[in-house]
Structure 1
Amino acid sequence: MKKVLVALIFSIFLLVSILYNYLPKESAGIKVWRIFTHTNTFPQSNKTIVISRDSITPLENNKTFVISAYYDARESRTVRVLTINHGEDVKELYCWFYCQEDDSEYVSVKATIETHSLWFGFRYGPADVLCPEPRSCSSKHISIHWSISKNTNHVPVFEIRNRDPQPFSADFTVCISTMFGKQDNILQYIQALEMYRILGAQKVVIYKNSCSEAIGHVLDHYVSEGFVEIVPWPIDRYLRTSDVWHQSMNKENQIGYYGQLPALSDCLYRNMYRSRYVTFNDIDEIILPRHHQTWHDLMKDLEKDYPNAAVYLIENHYFPKNITVPDFQAAFPKNVPGTNILQLVYYEPEQPNVYNNHKMIVNPREVIQISVHFASKTRSVSVDVPNHIAGLHHGRAPKQPNLPQTSLIKDTTIWKYNSSLIMNVNEVLRQLNLH
């Protein structure tokens, strides 16, 4: 009888253990679901966990595209998952935290979706999926799903970055987004990259959708040097992309400028703890100090003048490519295609009652959301840097093509870099066998 009683107690204990491990339980509003630890597969299915290495990963319904996940403890223990969402159809998402070293179980938490303020009328745009991290969980990976527990064919898993910040590897990083099309403006591309280097940048991050073979050859050179980092950006595999800024200009497309806004957001968080400052501009734009020689010297004074600022807005000036001066026309080989920015020293005056765009130098650790021309959400203030301190040299097609040259404003600030720029660019052209 005693043996039967012991066997019965053992059987009850075993049954309770099985139920505990394989049935869902609730605690403080968090549902916990067990996964078979020896195979990393979901219960009652044969669906394996897939760790995504892509820069854009569609979820199964193609209404949400995950870019990357970043730990963000500035306000609370949160993982900020950067996504591209369909504005009308995505209302609820869940974060799956993998709290075990072997990703053998996940904890599911309802997310808060923070839609960025500007989508410029397009149906898809950037949104931050905010995932409060459960207590006693220091997850290295996370998944995003529209269900708290639904089994699917594949649930992509994303690495959580920025959890263990390292010392800065750069004082200045330039974020370029997005590169698309088949332009062949080799000279201006190399001049811009060398100007960034002269001004003090240690890294340039380019979100590349496409480029010409010749520009690709140039980028390969800078990647091999470690100066340029290329983030593949195949946004047009998933969405109809536009090369204009507002949906009203092209109503058939789903997202603007090849996903420029989410690319900028990723560049902000990617470099948040790698770089002391981050600048946001296009490859045809250069932030030029008027009196200082480098960005380092410029920022040293700006921080003194604006101690509470984290975003420094630099006024844009259009230098039309059709208005050139003869100076420095022989500085580079004639067979190299592209615009010589040393010959662009006239910019258009501001148009009355038209907002003049800005580009930025930011302290990324004080910025939460970024847009093209300003920081849309910050923990500190933004300041307009006076034009006599710094300006944006933007060499492009004219914005006001009917203006006579006599109406333009002469600005030769870029000439103070002419010796270094000419020497550096010609050395790169030599290494590329273009000299």
Structure 2
Amino acid sequence: MDKTKPFTFRLFLFIIAIFIFIMIITTVRTPRTYRSIPPPRGALDTCPFQISNKSITPLENTKHFLVSAYMDQRVKGFDIRIISIFRRDSIQTLYCLFCCAGQLSNTTPVTVLVHEDHFGFPFSATDVMCQIPPNCEATHVTLLKQPDGVEVSNQTWLPIKNKKTSREEEKTFQFDFTVCISTLFGEYNNVLQFAQTLEIYRLLGVGRVVIYNNSAGPELNRLLKTYSEEGLVEMVEWPIHKHLNPSHGWLFSKHGGDLQYYGQLVTLNDCIYRSMDRSRYVLLNDIDEIIMPYQHDNLKSMMDMLQQQHPDAAMFHIESHVFPYKFFTKGKDTPLPQWRGVPGFNILERIYREDPDKNIFHPRKMIIQPRLVEQTSVHDVLKMFGQKYKVPMDVCRMIHCPTVPQNERLFSQYEDTRLWDFKDKLIQRVNEMLRRGGLLSSDRES
């Protein structure tokens, strides 16, 4: 009996030791999940930690850049589309992490869609697609290079836009028409043409013009500020030159650089999603181009007709016509004297239209329904959920007034004074905006 007591005591100690060991193991080790992030314990631990307020956000430890994140559930299996700029030869596996009403989510895998139109440049417009985890009321998103073990407090988060879900709300729009001007660069300062173009669009029914500004001249910056304060222009600062070597041209083999035309394709796609829930139609064109109806007084009546005739159309292709450097005779009614000294030229003097050569490729510009477009290039839509329709030139054509001389084929030029139909109201509105911008003195108006 005396020998059993030490054995029993040792067995008891052994059992106690095993129990303590199990408790330590279960306390220290936690089950592996998609992320090794402790649950939030208070206000300081809730997400998001750092929110980007910039139009271009570098993705840490990569050669890529993020522009903006949008809710987009039109493609099966995806909820979020992040408009991005990726280096095409450095694409790696990525994961989306969401902030769900202040709480971190599990990560979800990313699908990277490089746009097919990159014109040979190393960097391209890119869509990053991912799914929101179940039971997550996502407000912000960030990208990770691995699914767990990341210190997320160092991540930069993008707010998720276009979160409207009500079908009834989607039927109402703040604007009928938005014009997307891809990029202003090179200290662009053609103030007079800029003001005339914006006022023509206002007369045609455009309610909003989105401009991605990389570099504008001093006088134009003053005018842009005036238009922004008034509400017609939505300015997006676009400092792409601080991140990449942007090209001044569209073709890499000819112009070199990292990215086509200061990121023109990126900004056009971002503008479409920026306008998705706010505008019925979006016009994609440059600042020296005016999409002009020829059978209607405004864009709304023209598009009502075209949409009724072509209900399945998502994109309306508009033929471009150059109005080159050939001026009409300057008479006493010419408004040039009152605009003398304002940088730029007067588009009312462009009254000779050059019809395009049908024997060669002739690029067009577009009016789109943004909710039916997924990806766009400059002259054509890359992915859409509808059909395209080429609008006859007698219904609508684009008035292209380039700032530099084009190859003028005089045998194909015709007088076209369509802009003069808006002259009286146009001159009044331009004078008002130039005056408000401090660019038109009283002695110039006399």
Given the superposition, is the C-alpha separation of residues 16 and 353 from structure 1 closer, same or farther in structure 2, using an over 3 Å criterion?
farther
Given the superposition, is the C-alpha separation of residues 17 and 347 from structure 1 closer, same or farther in structure 2, using an over 3 Å criterion?
farther
Alpha-carbon contact 2:320-2:365 (below 8 Å) kept: yes
Distance (whole Å) between structure 2 residues aligned to residue 48 and residue 129 of structure 1: 20
Alpha-carbon contact 2:179-2:282 (below 8 Å) kept: yes
Given the superposition, is the C-alpha separation of residues 402 and 307 from structure 1 closer, same or farther in structure 2, using an over 3 Å criterion?
closer
**Partner of 2:186 in structure 1?**
181
Q: Is structure 2 residue 232 aligned with structure 1 residue 227? A: yes
Distance (whole Å) between structure 2 residues aligned to residue 10 and residue 365 of structure 1: 61
Distance (whole Å) between structure 2 residues aligned to residue 211 and residue 368 of structure 1: 30
Alpha-carbon contact 1:317-1:392 (below 8 Å) kept: yes
**Partner of 1:28 in structure 2?**
none
Given the superposition, is the C-alpha separation of residues 236 and 319 from structure 1 closer, same or farther in structure 2, using an over 3 Å criterion?
same
Alpha-carbon contact 2:105-2:136 (below 8 Å) kept: no
Question: How much does 1:11 deviate?
Answer: 10
Distance (whole Å) between structure 1 residues aligned to residue 245 and residue 42 of structure 2: 39
**Partner of 2:8 in structure 1?**
none
Q: Is structure 2 residue 296 aligned with structure 1 residue 297? A: no
**Higher mean C-alpha displacement, 331-340 vs 257-266:** 331-340
Distance (whole Å) between structure 1 residues aligned to residue 89 and residue 43 of structure 2: 34
For residue 88 of structure 2, what is the amino acid of its counterpart? G
Q: Is structure 2 residue 89 aligned with structure 1 residue 84? A: no
Q: Is structure 2 residue 342 aligned with structure 1 residue 375? A: no
Given the superposition, is the C-alpha separation of residues 296 and 13 from structure 1 closer, same or farther in structure 2, using an over 3 Å criterion?
farther
User: Counterparts in 2 of 1:179-328, with a 5 A limit?
Assistant: 179-251=184-256, 253-320=257-324, 322-326=325-329
Q: Is structure 2 residue 43 aligned with structure 1 residue 37? A: no
Match of 1:350 among 348, 353, 356: 356
For residue 203 of structure 2, what is the amino acid of its counterpart? I
Given the superposition, is the C-alpha separation of residues 158 and 400 from structure 1 closer, same or farther in structure 2, using an over 3 Å criterion?
closer
Q: CA RMSD in A?
A: 2.7
Question: How much does 1:56 deviate?
Answer: 0.4
**Higher mean C-alpha displacement, 229-238 vs 159-168:** 159-168
**Partner of 1:134 in structure 2?**
133
Question: How much does 1:161 deviate?
Answer: 0.8
Question: How much does 1:424 deviate?
Answer: 0.8
Give the secondary structure class of the aligned counterpart of 1:220.
helix
- Unaligned ranges ≥5, structure 1: 26-30
Number of residue equivalences: 417
**Partner of 2:112 in structure 1?**
113
Give the structure-2-normalised TM-score. Answer: 0.87
**Partner of 2:32 in structure 1?**
24
**Partner of 1:97 in structure 2?**
98
Give the secondary structure class of the aligned counterpart of 2:357.
coil
1:27-66 deviation line (CA, Å, top 9, x unaligned): xxxx244335136889xxxx99321111100112341100
- What fraction of aligned residue pairs are identical, expressed as a percent? 36
Given the superposition, is the C-alpha separation of residues 242 and 15 from structure 1 closer, same or farther in structure 2, using an over 3 Å criterion?
same
Question: How much does 1:354 deviate?
Answer: 2.0
Question: How much does 1:350 deviate?
Answer: 1.7
1:391-424 deviation line (CA, Å, top 9, x unaligned): 00110146643533x5312222222111211111
- Unaligned ranges ≥5, structure 2: 1-12, 442-446
Distance (whole Å) between structure 2 residues aligned to residue 48 and residue 133 of structure 1: 16
| Structure showing greater Rg | 2
